Amino acid sequence: MIKVRFLGHLAAQFKEEMELQEEKMSVAELLNRLNLKEGWITRANTLILVNGVEVSALKGEETEVKDGDFITLVPISHGG
């Protein structure tokens, strides 16, 4: 099972945590699945952490997540 934690306004859209019964998938596949449900989550507007490491330090959207991994999605807010 892959656990996904949502912070900020994403927690209101989805709920704070979600569990996916997948054994493995890429970050891109995860985002596609979430975007079908509601919202539009991209790397441009969201920090994506896999087990505490931002995906740009890994393989970006090609990063594979697997059973036991913990994904955290943190929206990036701008103001000015």
Please, what are the domains in the chain?
2-75 (3.10.20.30)
Q: What is the DSSP code string of 26-42?
A: EHHHHHHHHHHHSS---
CA 74 – CA 45 distance, rounded (Å): 9
Dihedral of the CA atoms 53, 74, 43, 4 (nearest 10)? 70
Using the Cα atoms of residue 20, residue 7, residue 48 and residue 38 in order, give the sign of their dihedral.
Answer: positive
Q: Is the pTM of this model over 0.85?
A: yes
Average pLDDT of 2-10? 93
pLDDT digits (tens, 9 = 90+) for 40-77: 888 888 999 999 999 999 999 999 999 999 999 999 97
Question: Nearest CA to 61 among 38, 39, 35, 80?
Answer: 35
